[in-house]
A and B are shown apart, each in its own frame.
Chain A
Amino acid sequence: MPLDAKFIGRTYPPTEPYEVGREKIREFAAAIGDPDPAYNDPEAAKALGHPDVIAPPTFAIVVTMRAADQVVHDPELGLDYSRVVHGDQKFTYTRPVRAGDRLTVVTTVDNIKSLAGNDILTTRAEVTTVEGEHIVTALSSLVARAAADDSEA
């Protein structure tokens, strides 16, 4: 059954703050194989004008993916997560995420459309600090592939 278009425009409550730690940034940078000193060495980050180590650009997904759980597991929406693949992803940064940030995310359903039996759910995640400073906007589309038995009338 296609996703209900009435969810377009729905905004979910802000997430509990996620506190960004230096060691978590190092762990993420190591996992993507990136030895950039801006992610590892506070002095190197300061030399670039950042108050503390910054996170790799795609680190924001760690925070926004947790927030998206509110949407993808919303029982009213009824998305079959076992059929979901990541369609596209875009980040627009006001500044990089850095150690010490306490981040909260507000997720909005931007669009729902059906294409060749697939449901495409587009969400917009606004990531801010708890003090209200905007950090990054993340646009994601998730594609729920048509189930094999959807064609049975």
Chain B
Amino acid sequence: MTAKISFDDVAVGTELPARSFPVTRETLVRYAGASGDFNPIHWNGRFAAEVGLPDVIAHGMFTMAEAARVVTDWLGDPGALIEFGVRFTKPVAVPDTVEGATIEVTGKVAVLLDDRRARVDLLVTSGGAKVLGVPRAVVQLA
């Protein structure tokens, strides 16, 4: 593992470059195929309505994957991400429009740990609302 970020160059509060990620119905179909999660709430509007959802919703694991990108892009080596956990608190509704929805991710160093590790806390929102609870990563810095 060879993170491009040195432990000596970060402090509590160091911000990671923020990103926003578009998600459309096509994104969800593609993710369903690649991940093997074909639950119809992620592609079938009729089914989503029947089970009381506001619209088709993104896979929670898709949102988690996008959140991870902010950390792995910053690290330069995805292998330097050694722990990552989230709660799925609010679904990301994806309307059948050209724009779909957007997932916004920001992050900052929250705690410096032993062995040149650090804890990174993320904020993951869509449409102004938090969609993941306590998204946290532990990273191995150089």
Contact = CB atoms under 8 A, between A and B. Distances in A.
Interface of A: 27-28, 30-34, 36, 38-39, 48-50, 54, 56-58, 61-62, 65-66, 82, 85-93, 95-96, 139
Query: Which are the 3 A-B pairs with shortest beta-carbon distances?
Result: A90-B85, A31-B34, A88-B87
A34 B73 CA distance: 9
B88 A57 contact: no
A38 B68 CA distance: 14
B45 interface: no
Interface of B: 1-2, 21, 27, 30-31, 33-37, 51, 60-62, 64-66, 68-69, 72-73, 76-79, 81-88, 133
A95 to B, nearest CB: 7
Contacts of A54: 78-79
Given A65-B36, A65-B37, A88 B88 contact: yes
B44 to A, nearest CB: 13
18 contacts: A27-B34, A28-B35, A31-B27, A32-B62, A36-B73, A48-B77, A49-B2, A49-B79, A50-B79, A57-B78, A86-B60, A86-B61, A88-B88, A89-B61, A89-B85, A92-B82, A93-B82, A93-B83
